[in-house]
Amino acid sequence: MRSISKIDLAGAVLVVGILALAPVLVASNYLTGVLTVCAIYGIWASSWDFMSGLTGRENFGHSLFIGAGAYTAGFLATIWSASPWLSLPLAIGIAVVFSVLVGFPTLRLRGPYFA
């Protein structure tokens, strides 16, 4: 496994800080939406890098948890017109429920069942 250098950490903190301040600095709703999608893809890419880059194993399972949370947030926002402050914690909760339902039985498996 490779270690994370101070430059990588400083770059990550800088990018997260810029993305956190972007909605305040940008007045356009369209550009805010584009930056939000960029942040979501960045989070997904970092989880992919953690799984395949640091551990050396390819895994598509984490996409289930991201998809479950995204579907929940989208469903709550479009069908029930819920605010993001309500839909985001509920989406995280649904992703955690999916991960517990898949994770605990997986921990009991023996052998090459990682994929």
pLDDT in tens, 33-57: 888 788 788 888 887 887 777 777 7
- Do 64 and 45 reside in the same domain of the chain? no
Q: What is the span of the domain harbouring residue 103?
A: 60-115
- Do 109 and 73 reside in the same domain of the chain? yes
- Do 2 and 45 reside in the same domain of the chain? yes
The pTM of this model reads 0.59
- Do 83 and 100 reside in the same domain of the chain? yes
pLDDT of 114 > 60? The answer is no
Backbone angles phi, psi at 64, to 5 degrees: -60, -45
Q: How many domains does the chain have?
A: 2
70 closest CA partner among 86, 50, 90, 56: 90
- The most confident of the ranges 8-22, 44-58, 75-89 is 75-89
The rounded distance, in Å, linking the Cα atoms of 77 and 36 is 15
Q: Dihedral of the CA atoms 49, 113, 107, 104 (nearest 10)?
A: 80
Q: 20: which 2 tokens?
A: 């956190």
Q: Average pLDDT in the 90-115 region?
A: 83
Domain final residue pick, 56, 72, 97: 56
